[in-house]
């Protein structure tokens, strides 16, 4: 057979195989129970005229998760985050953080109450399958940065009773509980503070999953050693693929897995690839924020004007963005290193996550497609998409019951 006929035959085969693989992946994906362990979407719940039941898009209003796109992407739910940025470590600062976190928890409950036909609060591991079977989306809750706890660990019970079942001690900078992986000043406590060690014990007592994303390596080591149940990294990456302090090295990943823990893979570009500093862009963005205020407080024509100016700044000062391939490199490295029992998905939607080819929650079937193409089966994917985090939740529940 002439060579050009052979080439044409292979091209036709490739063209027909790709849609077939995508269709098969979609079918598999729809059968899975899918949870994302880090949804910053509650940051949008207080926005004027914003509803999770409407379809949104990133270019117009900078949101990545809503009910229509969850349905399209086959996401059954996840951990909706109560995030509080680190502020002053003072009585007044702690009180303000506490109140902001309680308000965010109320906004989550109000969203579910307004849309009770589409969403349901989940409190136990076994709630997930029941809620998914009813056709509703699953709403677990987590706290990112335990700054709202301040010096009063009794508040952990308050948040637990509201439905918080995953909690991390720290965010971008050190606080009274722990050192951050990214504090410009470096170490303060050499890991957990004395109060932070009590925080770990109280989380175990209540049945909360401990989350070490954003924490320093020392904190991760100490949490693995001290916690009586396995811990999670709700949205992190592999340092062997990209050397960033927010990611973890192979030896720690193996220790995490040996203890029963799980790393959930993050899609924020700055943790996946090198994003060089861009002072001109930063200055322009600061000026934009000074002119308009927080974009989540805008609506209508003013939001449209903000989006147009922001788009012009991004076009004038472009920065590199990670691609789906970059994200998958982290996922596949972790899978090869520790196996499907210890890896999951926490994409950081609405908190900075998203890559070219993985722009919003509607795109997540592409992850399933890539994993099937890499040789992982449906049972493996069920562990990644929800089985592993639900196992951790069951272990935390059982330990607390004992």
| Average pLDDT along the chain | 95
In this prediction, residue 24 carries a pLDDT of: 87
Give yes or no: residues 283 and 257 share one domain: no
Whether 190 and 233 map to the same domain: the answer is: yes
300 plus 331 within the same structural domain: no
- Domain of 283? 276-319
Q: What is the predicted pLDDT for the residue at 21?
A: 62
**Residue 8 pLDDT exceeds 60:** no
Confidence of residue 18 (pLDDT cuts 50, 70, 90): low
pLDDT at residue 23, as a whole number: 74
Q: Which residue has the higher pLDDT, 25 or 136?
A: 136
Write down the pLDDT at residue 14.
42
47, 185: one domain:
yes
Q: For position 268, what pLDDT does the model report?
A: 98
**What value does the mean pLDDT take over residues 19-28?**
78
Q: Is residue 141 part of a domain?
A: yes
- Judged on CB neighbours under 10 Å (0-12, 13-18, 19+), 165 is buried
Average of per-residue pLDDT across 375-399: 98
Q: Does residue 22 belong to any structural domain of this protein?
A: no
What 3-state DSSP class applies to 275?
coil
Tell me how many degrees the CA angle 43-136-300 measures, rounded to the nearest 5.
35
Give the mean pLDDT of 103-131.
98
Give me the mean pLDDT over the 19-32 stretch: 83
My answer on whether 174 and 282 are in the same domain is no
Q: Are residues 219 and 291 in the same domain?
A: no
Domain check: are 285 and 262 in the same one? no
Task: Quote the CA–CA distance of 257 and 10 in Å, as a whole number.
Answer: 42
Instruction: Look up the CATH number of the domain holding residue 378.
Output: 3.20.20.140
Q: Domain for residue 354, yes or no?
A: yes
pLDDT tens digits for 238-256? Answer: 999 999 999 999 999 999 9
Q: Are 157 and 287 members of one domain? A: no
Instruction: Collect all residues with Cβ–Cβ distance below 8 Å to 300 and sequence separation of at least 6.
Output: 49
Q: Kindly tell me if the per-residue pLDDT of 153 is higher than 70.
A: yes
Which pLDDT band holds residue 234 (cuts at 50, 70, 90)?
Answer: very high
| pLDDT tens figures, 251-280 | 999 999 999 999 999 999 999 999 999 999
Looking at the predicted structure, is the pLDDT value of residue 12 above 70? no
Total number of domains in the chain: 2
What pLDDT does residue 19 have?
A: 60
**Is residue 23 assigned to a domain?**
no
Provide mean pLDDT across the span 182-209.
Answer: 98
For the segment 187-199, what is each residue's pLDDT rounded down to a tens digit? 999 999 999 999 9
Quick one: what percent of the chain has pLDDT higher than 70?
A: 95
In this structure, the answer to whether residues 303 and 257 fall within a common structural domain is no
The yes-or-no verdict on residue 2 having pLDDT over 70 is: no
Structure token pair of residue 371: 């994993």
Mean pLDDT of 106-113: 98
Q: What are phi and psi of 298, to 5 degrees?
A: -95, 155
Residue 178: what pLDDT? 98
Rounded to 5 degrees, φ, ψ at 375 are 105, 5
Q: Residue 226 pLDDT more than 60?
A: yes
For residue 19, tell me if it sits in a domain: no
Give the residue carrying structure tokens 């805008």.
298
What is d(CA 4, CA 15) in angstroms, rounded to the nearest whole number? 16
Q: Is residue 12 part of a domain?
A: no
Confidence check: pLDDT of 9 > 50 = no
Question: Residue 6: inside a domain, yes or no?
Answer: no
Q: What is the pLDDT of residues 336-364, one digit of tens each?
A: 999 999 999 999 999 999 999 999 999 99
* Averaged pLDDT, 118-125: 98
Does the predicted model carry a pTM greater than 0.75? yes
pLDDT at 345: 98
Q: Produce one character per residue of 246-278: b if its CB has 16 or more CB atoms within 10 Å, e if not.
A: bbbeeebbebbbeebbbbbbbbbbbbbbeeeee
Query: Is 283 found in the same domain as 237?
Result: no
41 pLDDT more than 90: yes
For residue 321, pLDDT over 80 is answered with: yes
Q: Is the pLDDT of residue 149 over 70?
A: yes
For residue 214, the tally of other CB atoms under 10 A from its CB is 24
372 and 343 within one domain = yes
Evaluate if residue 70 carries a pLDDT over 80: yes
Reported as a pLDDT band with limits 50, 70 and 90, residue 402 is confident
């Amino acid at each position: 057979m002439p060579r050009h006929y052979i080439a044409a035959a292979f091209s036709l085969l490739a063209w027909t195989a790709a849609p077939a693989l995508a269709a098969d992946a979609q079918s598999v994906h729809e059968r899975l129970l899918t949870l994302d362990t880090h949804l910053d979407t509650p940051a949008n719940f207080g926005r004027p005229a914003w509803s999770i039941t409407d379809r949104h898009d990133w270019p117009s209003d900078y949101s990545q998760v809503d009910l229509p796109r969850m349905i399209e992407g086959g996401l059954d739910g996840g951990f909706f985050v109560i995030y509080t940025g680190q502020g002053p470590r003072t009585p007044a600062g702690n009180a303000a953080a506490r109140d902001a976190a309680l308000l965010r928890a109320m906004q989550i409950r109000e969203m579910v109450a307004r849309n009770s036909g589409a969403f349901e609060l989940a409190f136990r591991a076994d709630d997930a399958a029941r809620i998914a079977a009813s056709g509703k989306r699953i709403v677990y809750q987590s706290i990112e940065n335990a700054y709202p706890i301040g010096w009063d660990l009794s508040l952990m019970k308050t948040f637990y009773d509201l439905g918080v079942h995953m909690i991390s001690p720290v965010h971008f900078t050190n606080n009274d509980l722990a050192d951050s992986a990214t504090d410009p000043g470096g170490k303060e406590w050499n890991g957990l503070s004395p109060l932070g060690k009590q925080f770990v014990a109280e989380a175990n007592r209540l049945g909360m999953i401990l989350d070490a994303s954003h924490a320093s390596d020392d904190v991760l080591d100490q949490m693995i050693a001290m916690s009586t149940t396995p811990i999670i990294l709700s949205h992190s990456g592999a340092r062997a693929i990209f050397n960033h302090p927010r990611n973890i090295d192979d030896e720690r990943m193996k220790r995490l897995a040996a203890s029963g823990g799980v790393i959930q893979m993050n899609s924020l570009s700055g943790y996946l690839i090198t994003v060089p500093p861009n002072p001109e862009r930063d200055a322009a963005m600061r000026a934009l924020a000074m002119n308009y205020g927080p974009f989540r407080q805008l609506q209508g024509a003013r939001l449209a004007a903000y989006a147009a100016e922001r788009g012009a700044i991004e076009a004038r000062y472009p920065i590199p963005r990670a691609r789906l391939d970059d994200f998958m490199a982290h996922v596949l490295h972790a899978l090869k290193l520790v196996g499907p029992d210890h890896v999951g998905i926490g994409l950081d939607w609405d908190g900075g996550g998203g890559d070219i080819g993985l722009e919003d929650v509607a795109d997540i079937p592409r992850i399933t497609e890539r994993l099937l193409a890499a040789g992982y089966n449906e049972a493996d994917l069920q562990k990644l998409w929800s089985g592993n985090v639900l196992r951790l939740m069951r272990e935390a529940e059982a330990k607390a019951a004992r």
